[in-house]
A and B are shown apart, each in its own frame.
Chain A
Amino acid sequence: GAGVSQSPSNKVTEKGKDVELRCDPISGHTALYWYRQSLGQGLEFLIYFQGNSAPDKSGLPSDRFSAERTGGSVSTLTIQRTQQEDSAVYLCASSLRDSKAFFGQGTRLTVV
């Protein structure tokens, strides 16, 4: 596609359940980023993938959060045993190495 695609666009889950969020970056982009944005808050960095290098996981808030990127393209962010404080919009972005990044529309996660 022409832009970064994220799915689902909305997800409502029960507390304690696991969720998977998907990101399809722009074709050919080697860098992929995950951020989250809580209601009325700024962007919070989660994780960064660049090519075959080890990902920068310094922003993951707890060990319940993990992400992988298969074949240097699609990425999945997994949140285990979801908590209400995990409710946020999860944004994915991609870029050519460290150049200008393009963001997706995000996945709005609501934990009830």
Chain B
Amino acid sequence: DAKTTQPPSMDCAEGRAANLPCNHSTISGNEYVYWYRQIHSQGPQYIIHGLKNNETNEMASLIITEDRKSSTLILPHATLRDTAVYYCIVRVAPSGSARQLTFGSGTQLTVLP
């Protein structure tokens, strides 16, 4: 699986958009970009995934650059409950599979009131 690089921490004001970047410059053509998050003392939670096109669901939007070397997870209106560690993962797998997921250190997002 391709290696990903994320900033260790970010702050965001409540109600504003949170934009979380991820670099994956060694991504292969058949690898998907997944995002999970882990709220303190809880298990990881799937957010969204994509291959080439931008994706949007009820939780977030995923913007993937044309060369696929980086992506951005967007939480359009961050709330205090979005405070969590956000993990960007790149792997070959269908849908939101958790098979052999390997999480790095992620980005600690703190939403400030």
Contact = CB atoms under 8 A, between A and B. Distances in A.
Interface string B84-113: 000100000111111111111110000000
Given A43-B44, A105-B41, A98 B99 contact: yes
Nearest to A108: B41
Interface string A23-63: 00000000101010000111111001000000010110000
A43 B46 CA distance: 14
Interface bin, chain B = 20 to 34
Given A42-B87, A98-B93, A103 B43 contact: yes
A4 B95 CA distance: 20
Interface string A72-112: 00000000000000000001010100111111111000000
A59 B103 contact: no
Contacts of A41: 105
Contact of A95 (B41, B98, B100): B98
B54 interface: no
A95 B97 CA distance: 8
B104 A42 contact: yes
Nearest to A42: B103
A91 to B, nearest CB: 5
Contact of B96 (A35, A44, A100): A100
B35 to A, nearest CB: 12
A105 B42 contact: yes
A43 B97 contact: no
Interface of B: 41-46, 87, 93-106
Q: Pick the 8 closest A-B CB pairs, nearest first.
A: A103-B43, A101-B98, A100-B96, A42-B103, A43-B103, A98-B97, A45-B100, A99-B95
6 contacts: A42-B105, A44-B102, A56-B100, A98-B94, A99-B97, A106-B43
Given A42-B104, A100-B46, 13 more contacts: A31-B99, A33-B98, A41-B105, A42-B102, A43-B103, A45-B101, A48-B99, A56-B99, A93-B98, A99-B96, A103-B45, A105-B42, A106-B43
